[in-house]
Amino acid sequence: MIKLISTGGDTTTVSFPEAMWQGQAPDGGLYVPQSIPALPESWWSGVADRTFHEIGAGIATPWLAPHLNEQEVRTLVEEALPFDAPLVDVEGTTSVLELFHGPTLAFKDFGAQFMAKLFGRLGAEDDRELLILVATSGDTGSAVASGFHGVPGTRVCLLYPSGRVSPLQEKQMTTLGGNVTALEVDGAFDDCQRLVKEAFRDRELNETFRLSSANSINIARLLPQSFYYVRAVAQLQERGERAEPVFVVPSGNFGNLTAGLLANRMGMPAHRFVAATNRNDVFPNYLETGRFNPKPSVQTLSNAMDVGNPSNFERIMYLFGGSLERVREQILAIGFDDHQTTEEIRRAHEEYGYLADPHTAVGLLAARSIREQSLADPSRPLVVLSTAHPAKFRETVEAATGAEVEIPERLAQCLSKEKQTIAAGSRYSDFRNLLNELF
Ligand SMILES: *Cc1c(COP(=O)(O)O)cnc(C)c1O
């Protein structure tokens, strides 16, 4: 059975379900596996013939045993992730791994859908309903809400800053109904986050409710994100491409990249990882200078990567035994500004006929600079992770390309519904009263 420990230094180990229920370790660190279960050579050599669901079951089973058996994991993967991650050629040996075919059109669907089903499947440790509090600036809220929507024994309360999410993101969060409640907070994202953090520290509230954060630091969200890296390798091999790929990952909190590292430690062939960031370039600076200097985030077009203190940095350091040299051997990092991003959206459309959202464009920029600076052998496959559908950032993409971006049916549906929200102030005492009234 896999055991997890905290990056915070506490040596107590917990099981996977315990780490999932808690989210963050009591010492404030993040849960990481004490040792990573590698899959046998024979599993990897047959990977090209496996479907996405078979890959998911193969990867997740050693993490979830003995709580679930392989067949149960397989069923869970099928139910949670009824969509694929297709690899699309763009130019030469560069391809894009499209991670936006889930219900909310962003890669966060993989983590959120899987985690939600796992919460439902592994049952409650007591019989109180689980109340999931999520502060969101847009993408996380819709992915988590969609994942937990209709999951028995759970309720979701989203807090988002009024007037500061895109109209489309707002519709995605506020039209689900059922067990999902959206609070429109009169304040900024930081206010939403502060309210949620205070609620977790509030003893009395925690006696009334069984609270969970289900946020991006949860290990149960990382695990399913390793599936699609393996799926990319399988698709390369199907095409007869055997060389180890370079994975380019548009990064903010570095959960996505960490999931790739986990897949690699489980035996997945990968030559290197490239962290592509926007102007929030704390990680590229770290690799360059050896100093990790978190700073306040700055706003950019690729706003889901506007992170000034990447939470998964601790996990990355743990995986490399704290050695900067070892991190540098495996990970390259490059940052780009908004001007370059807009220009890349235009070029990708013009040169490859590909419509990229601003986050994917940051990844394509990194791939371009690797080619131009010969940082990888020209024959080596470069896989750029595409983290969002261009329709999610339609205005930016249309302005940069002059092309029209089609809105997928599943998004169009929620656009025609009325938003349902509850107005909330940014004072904690009011928030607390509201929770007691509502739930
Ligand atoms: C969350 C997000 C990212 C950043 O992912 P991390 O795991 O935080 O590095 C990139 N692109 C999009 C569209 C996102 O929603």
Ligand 1 pocket test, candidate residues 104, 105, 108, most atoms within 8 A of CB: 108
Q: Is the CB of 250 under 6 A from ligand 1?
A: yes
Q: What spacing in Å lies between the alpha carbon of 354 and ligand 1's midpoint?
A: 20
Q: How far apart are CA 37 and CA 424, in angstroms?
A: 45
Q: Is the CB of 392 under 6 A from ligand 1?
A: no
Ligand 1 pocket test, candidate residues 387, 394, 396, 397, most atoms within 8 A of CB: 387
CA-to-CA separations, 156 to 130, 134, 180, 195, 217, in angstroms, rounded: 8, 8, 5, 15, 17
Q: Report the nearest-CA residue for atom 1 of ligand 1.
A: 304
Q: How far apart are CA 264 and CA 36, in angstroms?
A: 10
Q: Which atom of ligand 1 is nearest to the CA of 225?
A: 7
Structural contact between residues 83 and 341, judged by C-beta atoms closer than 8 angstroms: no
Q: What token pair was written down for 388?
A: 């969002």
pLDDT of 124:
59
Q: What spacing in Å lies between the alpha carbon of 116 and ligand 1's midpoint?
A: 18
Question: Smallest Cα–Cα separation from 302: which of 282, 276, 284?
Answer: 276
Q: What spacing in Å lies between the alpha carbon of 269 and ligand 1's midpoint?
A: 23
Q: Is the CB of 254 under 6 A from ligand 1?
A: yes
Cβ burial 352-361 (10 Å sphere, 16+ → b, else e) = bebbbbbbbb
Q: What spacing in Å lies between the alpha carbon of 207 and ligand 1's midpoint?
A: 33
Question: Smallest Cα–Cα separation from 233: which of 264, 188, 191?
Answer: 264
Q: Which atom of ligand 1 is nearest to the CA of 258?
A: 7
Phi-psi sector, 9: left (phi>0), alpha (psi -120 to 50), beta: left
Q: How far apart are CA 325 and CA 114, in angstroms?
A: 34
Q: How far apart are CA 360 and CA 362, in angstroms?
A: 5
Q: Is the CB of 98 under 6 A from ligand 1?
A: no
Q: What spacing in Å lies between the alpha carbon of 250 and ligand 1's midpoint?
A: 7
pLDDT tens digits along 119-136: 888 875 667 888 999 998
Q: Report the nearest-CA residue for atom 15 of ligand 1.
A: 304
Q: What spacing in Å lies between the alpha carbon of 71 and ligand 1's midpoint?
A: 31
Count of Cβ atoms closer than 10 Å to residue 401 Cβ: 20
Q: How far apart are CA 402 and CA 380, in angstroms?
A: 32
Q: H helices within 152-242, ranges in order?
A: 167-174, 189-201, 203-208, 219-222, 225-238
pLDDT of 64:
97
pLDDT of 390:
96
pLDDT of 125:
60
Q: What spacing in Å lies between the alpha carbon of 433 and ligand 1's midpoint?
A: 33
Give, as one character, the DSSP assignment of residue 52.
H
Q: How far apart are CA 169 and CA 125, in angstroms?
A: 33
pTM score, two decimals? 0.94
pLDDT of 351:
96
Q: Report the nearest-CA residue for atom 2 of ligand 1.
A: 304
Residues 6+ apart with CB under 8 A from 439: 129, 131, 155, 157, 209
Q: At 286, which amino acid appears?
A: Y
Q: Which atom of ligand 1 is nearest to the CA of 256?
A: 7
Residue 102 bridge partners (DSSP) = none
Below-70 pLDDT ranges, the chain: 124-126
Q: Is the CB of 104 under 6 A from ligand 1?
A: no
Q: What spacing in Å lies between the alpha carbon of 121 and ligand 1's midpoint?
A: 26
Sheet with 210-212: list strands edge to edge: 210-212, 130-135, 154-161, 180-185, 422-424
Q: Is the CB of 349 under 6 A from ligand 1?
A: no
Q: Which atom of ligand 1 is nearest to the CA of 254?
A: 9
Q: Nearest 5°: phi and psi at 187?
A: 170, -165
Phi-psi sector, 181: left (phi>0), alpha (psi -120 to 50), beta: beta
Q: Report the nearest-CA residue for atom 11 of ligand 1.
A: 387
Q: Is the CB of 360 under 6 A from ligand 1?
A: no
Q: Is the CB of 108 under 6 A from ligand 1?
A: yes
Ligand 1 pocket test, candidate residues 107, 189, 277, most atoms within 8 A of CB: 107
Structural contact between residues 226 and 256, judged by C-beta atoms closer than 8 angstroms: no
Question: Smallest Cα–Cα separation from 126: which of 49, 21, 196?
Answer: 21
3-state secondary structure of 399: helix
Q: What spacing in Å lies between the alpha carbon of 251 and ligand 1's midpoint?
A: 6
pLDDT of 260:
98
Q: How far apart are CA 341 and CA 357, in angstroms?
A: 9
Pairing of strands 87-91, 331-335: unpaired
Q: Is the CB of 384 under 6 A from ligand 1?
A: no
